[in-house]
Structure 1
Amino acid sequence: MSAEILSQIEDVLDQIRPALHADGGDVELVEYDDEGFVHLNMMGSCGGCPMSTATLTLGIEAELRRAIPEVEGVITV
């Protein structure tokens, strides 16, 4: 697991967090695995929101994959 990639992931998440915070939610990086998947914990109102899948896939995953080519996808934990 590359410390550089982890730092890049956190940078992207920091750009997304204000929008999540506005809706009472947040996201926590759990791990970046050897296959290139980012494991995230959706917190606050995002944890139980029916739109969290769309937020995760259309927002967070798309942005991570755009910014960091090594990212293959996102998994919620």
Structure 2
Amino acid sequence: MDITRKQIESVLDAKVRPSLAAHGGNVIVLSLENDVLRVRLTGKCSGCPAAHSTNEELISLEISQAFPAIKDIILVEETNPELLTMAHKILNHQL
């Protein structure tokens, strides 16, 4: 059975997003390839020190229970562009 993005979004909507929203965050699906799901946390959850715990204890748990065929759920992190701009200004003595 092929797992669709709509099915994944449905589980995230029902089981994951309400908890993330309570903390001012969300999760977006980046890709599902070769039974590996890549997700990114957004909002206040993006870059949070507990992001990996959130992925392991909430996202991975719910997705794995709903879709045993998904072998891995990878949390893709990136630095906030505003934070990078601020860091460059500090390093260049512009602040």
Q: Given the two structures, how large is their TM-score scaled by the length of structure 2?
A: 0.72
Distance in 2 between residues matched to 1:50 and 1:71, nearest whole Å:
25
Aligned to 1:48, the other structure's residue is in SS state coil
Structure 2 counterpart SS, 1:9: helix
Aligned-pair Cα RMSD in Å: 1.2
Greater relative CO, 1 or 2 (CA 8 Å, sep 6+): 1
For the pair 1:28 / 2:28, whether they are aligned, the reply is yes
Question: In the alignment, residue 27 of structure 1 is paired with which amino acid?
Answer: V
What residue in structure 1 maps to residue 86 of structure 2? none
Cα deviation for residue 71 of structure 1 reads 1.0
Q: Deviations over 1:16-69 (max 9, x none)?
A: 1111011011000011011x1110011011111111111101110011000111
Give the 4+ runs in structure 1 shifted more than 6 A.
none
Residue-pair matches, total:
74
Q: CA deviation at 1:7?
A: 1.9
Counterpart of 1:22, as a letter, is A
Distance 1:62 1:19 in 2: 13
Partner of 2:13: 14
Letter of the aligned partner of 1:19 in structure 2? S
Q: Which has the larger radius of gyration?
A: 2
* C-alpha distance in structure 2 between counterparts of 1:65 and 1:40, whole Å: 14
- Unaligned 5+ segments in structure 1 are none
More helix by share: 1
- Structure 2, unaligned runs of 5 or more: 77-95
